[in-house]
Structure formats: structure tokens, C-alpha cells
Chain A
Amino acid sequence: MNTGADTITVDRLTRRFGDFVAVDDLSFGVHQGEIFGFLGANGAGKSTTIRMLCGLLLPTSGTATVGGVDVRRDPEGVKRRIGYMSQKFSLYEQLTVDENIRFFAGIYGLSRAKFEERHRFVIEMAGLEGRGRSLTRDLPGGVRQRLALGCAILHEPPIVFLDEPTGGVDPLSRRRFWRLIDTLSAQGVTVLVTTHYMDEAEHCHRIAIMHAGRLAALGTTSELKGLFRGRSIVEIDTGNPVMAMRVLQDAPAVEKTSVFGTAVHAVLRHGDDDLAELRQRLTAAGLTVGAIAPVEPSLEDVFLDVMDRRAS
């Protein structure tokens, strides 16, 4: 997995807080220009990992390099090569849009000419033309996130860490944000991003699923979906998904079930040969059943499956 060309290498990275192991023996690599997604339940250790990679938190053991720089030995060197958007809001709310840009440009030591160019770039990417004098506090969430990203990459870093950049943002703004991530990646910038949204995760080149501080799965979307090889998923349309789940749990062919929108997804142990039996069971329990059709596993199915297997 770790090729020599990786811009980020993580090797047995571990972080403890007292007795608690927040990140446990983590190893992976990220290629240059890749959009690398981090999935995991709350508290899985995603932010802790990112903070170690940004030189903000000292690893308890293990090593990592970012842009060829050891995070343990030279955190300041790492910081010069990265942009970082933390999970918390990272702009000054009492400052205007222009003032925020000017502040970060000043801290990063941009020259005057460079500043003009980057200022224009940020205003444009955030869609803030003519709003330079608005207080940041008064901007809508989606716009603020784009501005925060702009301020985090003012100095044009080759590697960017984004920790839940689209939390609490409407779908349209999320899509717009991801177009920015695509653009960065197309320019050769490596992006490591955490998210709780499956549609966003599908957008990543590769995805790492974390569970309780450990790496539970890693691969492209289709590689991860391959975890279901030999099993199949059927989607069952029913008026009462909760009841249907209870009935299906007793069927020997069913490994497990989960609610998927208004339907139920059932993971079957060996192929889709028992569909008639499932329908029988459900109708016998007095449920109205619509279509039962095999479906491609979604990333959400994969995620829940990985979580389940880790938990047991």
C-alpha cells in the first residue's frame, strides 16, 4: 500500500490520551493529487489523526511524513507545506471577509502582488464578489466554509487537510464545495478529507474507514464494495420497515438488515435464491410487500457492514 511516491505516509501511528487509545497503530499512504476520504463514527479518531499529521499533536508512537517531512521531528516544516481546516469554525467572525483574507495573507507572508492575486482567487471561489466588507459572522454557512477553505490555502500548499468541511451545510453548497476539492486535486494538490456524508465519500478516490482508532477498511469505492463478494443485498419495499426487519432477522438466509430510506436492505448469505421465501415470511407476518430486488451495495452498506463486523 505504501509506495515510495506517497506524499503522506503513516506508519503505526498511535496516540493515547491517558489510558485511552484514540488512534491505534494506524498505517496507510496517500498519493499525490489524490482525494483521500476518512470515514468513521463519532470518536473514531479521525480528527486526532489529522491533528497529528498537521503537527498540532505529538504522536505517542509511530511515525508519519507529510510532503516528505517527519511530523514528529519537524512539525513547523510540515506546517509550511499544508493547509488545514479544522472541524471547528476557523475564521474571525468579527472581521470582514477582506480583513480575514488580509490577516491570513499577512501571517503567511504573502507579497503584495501575490496577495492581490490570491485575494481575487478566494473571493471568486467563495462567490463573494462585492461582499468583501461584510462581517464574516453574517455570511451563510456554506459561503463561510468556502471562505475558510480559501484562507487555509492562501499560501498554495501542496497538501490540504479538511476536517468535516461541510458539516451543517446545505446540499447545494456541499456540491459546490466538492467542486473546489476536485479542482484542487486536478491541480495536483493532495486532499485528505473527513466526512459523515456517504455521497461525499463516494466522491473520494480512496476511502479509509476508521473504527475505534483503528483502520477498519481501505480502498477505492469499488474495492470496498468488493467486500460483499459472495453475498448479495436485496432492497425490500414495505409499508413497515421496522416490523419487516424484525421478521427478516429470523430468516436463515438473512445475515443482517438495515433501514435504507423507506425500504429495508437485507444482506443475504449465499446469493439471491431465497427471494420467494423472504416474500412468504413477510406476507405471513401480515406485511404488504412491494418489490424485492437485488441491488448494488452502496457505500453506506459497506460502512455499516464494516462497523458491524468490527463491533462483533
Chain B
Amino acid sequence: MRMRAAVRRTLVLMWKELLELKRDPRLLNIVILAPVLQLLMLGYAATTDVRNVPMVVADADRSVASRQLIDRFNDSPYFTVTHVVTTVDQVDPDLTKGTAWMALSIPAGYGNHLGTGVPQTVQVIADGSDSNSATIALGNATALLAGYTKQLVAARSPAAAAAGFDARIRIWFNPRLESRDFMVPGVLALLLVVVTAIMSSMAIVREREIGTLEQLNVTPIGRGELIVGKLVPYAVLGLVDVVLVIAVALLWFQVPLRGSLALLFVLTLVYLLTALGLGLFVSTVSDTQQQAMMTAMFFFLMPMIYLSGFVFPIANMPRVIQWLTYLIPLRYYLVIVRGIFLKGVGLEALWPQAAALAVWGTAILGLAVARSTKRVR
């Protein structure tokens, strides 16, 4: 009897919440437009692919062989040779002005010595002011040179090639070398937590601000009923976002999904609960919507983004901070979402992360219930 009354109150609260959400003119923007636009934007921006790097070549050799090498660079999608000069000091102005990010220097006699056994050194100079891009571009250049060398050797001496020349560059899990395939699932994870946590952080504090919370507090509604009644409607909206965002990742960015879509969906739901629980918890401890927004953003979401491994690799963090990252749900979900998308692994590999998320979600929801008092002390 008691239970039935509690269930009824919870359902009535959900119904009311959905009605209010439905009539909120900002809803469409927050739930649909913002996440999709952000995923599109971040999906394009948060890519570490460095393509069409402008390149200047100092060709002191001017032979057929040197021209072949230059063409090789120019034909690659990663480089565009802007112009060719003769000596190394002539590349300087281009690098300082930024019209070229990279320079290739081919020594005189390169063509003549090729194939004679005399080791040839070509020099690659990169503008290090954007060290990230430089490292990636250098990697691309190295790979290109290695491939080219292997080809040259094979052409002149098939035996040597067969004997096992190896460029020793291998790419795992992301053979298309698309950093977008790696980034988009991460952006998806980020977006879901930001949108749902911020949305639900408004849920209770909004009523506190308007004054209706005090009205609710004189009714028989229980604290758990309040939290669950608020949680479920926002979970429904979160689910809409999940479907939307996964659809954009698969259909628009064509990120290959190697694992199970159903598993991805279920684990994303668990992740959603942690984000919603976090938002509701913030909502119970805040006095105003603005305060809730700030608390959610600066105390929870920002540290989460920085410490999750999304921006900086966890392996490179100091030991203490590494321990701290275990407190961050995004950390677990990143492993899950990348694992399912890129490696195609299943629950047998991901259960620790799934369990961590479930524990986290339960704990934060429990805290939210405990914090939402019906009487001010």
C-alpha cells in the first residue's frame, strides 16, 4: 500500500517533469541541436591528422632521383611542396614566415650515390612551434622515406628486399590512420556527460528558485521519490542524445563500429546514470541555477575532461594524479567506448570499467538522495 503510493507519486512527478520539459522552448536546442552541432564541430576540430603540410625543398642535387623523391612527397596527402630552392639557408625565410612548416634538404650527389652503397642522408627540418603537429608530420615524413627506401632497395636488389627490410612502422587498431576514428568516440563520451549533467543539475534547483520546491516539501513526496522522479525524465532525454550522437558518429563520420551496438547502448546507459546522478547531486547542493551550472562545470566537468585521459594521456601523469583519475567516470567510459568502437571487444574485457561506472552511479545517486532534505536544518 505504502509502496504503491510512493510509486504513484514518483510517476506523477515524472509526468509533470516531462510536461514541463516538453513546454520548455530551450529543450530542442539543448537536447538536439547543441549536441549534434558540437559533435560535428569537435569531430572535425579534434582531429590530430596533419594533412597538406606546406613544405619547402632545398634540392642541391637537381637530379632525376631527387625530383622523384620530391614528387613522392608532393603526391602524399600529408605534404604539399610549395616551392623548391637550392641551398639549405634559402629555406629559412619560409619557415620563419610560416609559409612552410617543414623543409626537406637533399644533398648534392644524392642521385649519383644512390645504389652505390654509400649511405645517403636527407635532412628533414620541421617548425617546432606547434610541436604536436610537427611530431606527427615528422612521423609521416619518416614513414614516407622508409617506404620509399624499401621500394628503391627492392627495385635494385629483390634479394635484399626479400631478406627482410622492414620499415618497422606499424599501426595498430586504427589502420586507416584516421585520428577521427579515435577522437569521435571520445567526443561522444564528453558530450554526453556535459549535456546530461548540466541539464539535470537544473532539475531541482530550478524548483527551489521558483518556490515550487517548498510546496513539494510540504507534500508526502519522499526524497528518493523526488530523485527518481527527476532522474527518469532526464534519462529519457539523455537516451535521445545517445541515439543521436551515436548515429552521427556512425553515419556522418563513418567511424567503424567493430563491437556490439547493443553492448555500447547498455553501457552508455550506465554511463548516463552517473552523469545524471552527478547533475542531480549538484542540483541538491545549489541555491540557484547559476550556481548549479558553475559547480557542475568547474568542480566536476572540467577536471573530468582533463583527468579522464581525453586530453592528456593518463600514463604521462604524475602517480598521485593517476590515482585520482580512478575517481573519474569518464575515464572508464572512454575505455569502453573506444574499446567497442575500435577494438570490437566485449563485456569479457570491459566488465571492470562497467562495474566501476555502476558503482559510481549508485554512489552519487545515493548521495543526492541523502543531500535532498525536506527540512532545512
Q: Which residues of A contact B (CB under 8 A)?
A: 51, 54-58, 75-76, 79-80, 82-84, 86-95, 99, 102-104, 106-109, 152
CB-based contact B5/A88 at 8 Å:
no
CB-based contact A109/B375 at 8 Å:
no
Note all chain A residues with C-beta closer than 8 A to B20: 92, 94-95
A108 to B15, CA, bound (A): 15
CB-based contact A56/B375 at 8 Å:
yes
Note all chain B residues with C-beta closer than 8 A to A58: 375-377
Asked if B12 lies at the interface with its beta carbon under 8 angstroms from chain A, I say yes
Q: Which residues of B contact A (CB under 8 A)?
A: 5, 8-9, 11-13, 15-16, 19-20, 23-24, 210-212, 214-221, 374-377
Q: Among A76, A92, A152, find the residue whose CB has the most chain B CB atoms closer than 10 A.
A: A92
A149 to B8, CA, bound (A): 23
State which of B12, B214, B377 has its C-beta within 8 Å of the C-beta of A107. B12
Query: With contacts A55-B375, A57-B375, A92-B20 known, is A107 near B211, CB below 8 A?
Result: no
A58 CB to nearest chain B CB (Å): 5
A181 CB to nearest chain B CB (Å): 18
Note all chain B residues with C-beta closer than 8 A to A109: 5, 8-9, 220
Note all chain A residues with C-beta closer than 8 A to B218: 54-56, 79, 82-84
A94 to B24, CA, bound (A): 8
State which of A51, A82, A84, A99 has its C-beta within 8 Å of the C-beta of B215. A84
A233 to B49, CA, bound (A): 90
A88 to B212, CA, bound (A): 8
Name the CB-closest residue of B to A154: B219
Name the CB-closest residue of A to B221: A107
A170 to B59, CA, bound (A): 90
A221 to B375, CA, bound (A): 34
Query: With contacts A56-B376, A75-B374, A79-B218 known, is A107 near B210, CB below 8 A?
Result: no
Query: With contacts A75-B375, A103-B16 known, is A86 near B215, CB below 8 A?
Result: yes
Note all chain B residues with C-beta closer than 8 A to A84: 214-215, 218
Taking A57-B376, A92-B20 as known contacts, 13 extra A-B pairs with beta carbons closer than 8 A to each other, sorted by chain A number, are A51-B214, A55-B218, A56-B218, A56-B374, A75-B374, A79-B219, A79-B220, A84-B214, A88-B214, A90-B212, A91-B212, A95-B19, A104-B219
Q: Among A58, A89, A106, find the residue whose CB has the most chain B CB atoms closer than 10 A.
A: A106
Q: Among A84, A90, A99, find the residue whose CB has the most chain B CB atoms closer than 10 A.
A: A90
Name the CB-closest residue of A to B20: A94
A102 to B5, CA, bound (A): 15
Name the CB-closest residue of A to B211: A88
Name the CB-closest residue of A to B22: A94
